Structure 1
């Protein structure tokens, strides 16, 4: 089995047991896709038709508000990516999902995802557990935005994505934290023990 599919199967096994004979079902339902840096997995106005699994690279999620980008999440390696609101309702997305780096994914369509749920012995359980994890993560991010200071949100980001600072432009991190790039520079300088 191709290394990308091995990674996908290992990740699915994080949630459910996968029998050896079920591995071929997984490989038959996902297909590879490559997105060059700065290109899009999804643009606002388009319907999200796939769930992707990132095998290499990094994606960011953002919305546009009066021409200003507001980053609200990331999908690095071994994470799934999708605008589930658009995917499940088949309505146009209000969000963008953009590759920050050259990104390789394995993608699955809505119909094939339903087949995955049906054909894997624990497929329905897999779908439920992933949905629960996404829901909890969304609530945590929402709570964080209203209850945490910028410094606390920055710390949470670094705990969640330890190598992000080296991979993402500072303005994107500042947007995620909800502050201006200059304020992020000040926080980073204070952390480094420097006078600002």
Structure 2
């Protein structure tokens, strides 16, 4: 099991070795090929995934164009909480931009974890807060920063993604035309 996940769990709450072993036992490993979907619009999300290796993109389709909403790489959790929590069809897509190795946690197994050790709600709270903060910052950046400032901020905060995410996705994520991003990069 990935040591980073175990370290993170320990840092969020004072969980015993037995608690962590129980949680880890509820995870199933899978691999998603580049270009395959973890979640497609219209499906109900039934899993969360911890990214062991690889890269995925949350996106919506607008006028036939994929508009990225977020990227998830190693040591991040992948999922769409709106669909997962409410058990409703997703209005979001999540696809692998690289071959992505995941540890899957099903909704049923998450419920079992909460029943046995309710303190695992701390993990949900922690990651939900991080997601909320990230989305709020990104929304503010889109309205308050220039295109150049948004790109430089993205580079500083996500240096490992610059060469892994296609530039047209970075441009769309930052609300910049691809031609403008090319000029900024020069």
Residue 169 of structure 2 aligns with which residue? 172
The aligned residue for residue 63 of structure 1 is 60
Q: Which residue of 145, 148, 171 maps to 2:145?
A: 148
The answer to whether 1:127 aligns with 2:124 is yes
Residues in 2 aligned to 1:174 and 1:66: alpha-carbon distance in whole angstroms = 17
Matched, 1:88 2:92: no
Shift of 1:116: 2.2
- Contact 1:9 1:26 (C-alpha < 8 Å) held by counterparts: no
After TM superposition, the score normalised by the length of structure 1 is 0.89
Q: Which runs of 5+ in 1 are unaligned?
A: 190-196
Shift of residue 179, structure 1, vs aligned partner: 1.2
User: In the TM superposition, what whole-angstrom CA distance separates every residue of 1:24-80 from its partner, at most 9, and x where no partner exists?
Assistant: 201211111100111111111111111110000000111001101111210010000
State the secondary structure of the residue aligned to 2:35.
coil
Selected match of 1:42 from 39, 43, 51: 39
Q: 79-88 or 24-33: which moved more?
A: 24-33
Q: Distance in 1 between matches of 2:71 and 2:8?
A: 17
Q: Counterparts of 2:125 and 2:161 in 1: how far apart (Å)?
A: 29
Aligned-residue RMSD, C-alpha: 1.5
Runs of 4+ in 1 over 4 A off after TM superposition: none
CA distance in structure 1 between the partners assigned to 2:11 and 2:66 by the alignment: 33
Displacement of 1:121: 6.3
Tell me, in whole angstroms, the C-alpha distance in 1 between the residues paired with 2:23 and 2:73: 21
Structure 2, unaligned runs of 5 or more: none
Deviation at 1:163, TM superposition (A): 1.4
1:28 aligns with one of 25, 28, 31: 25
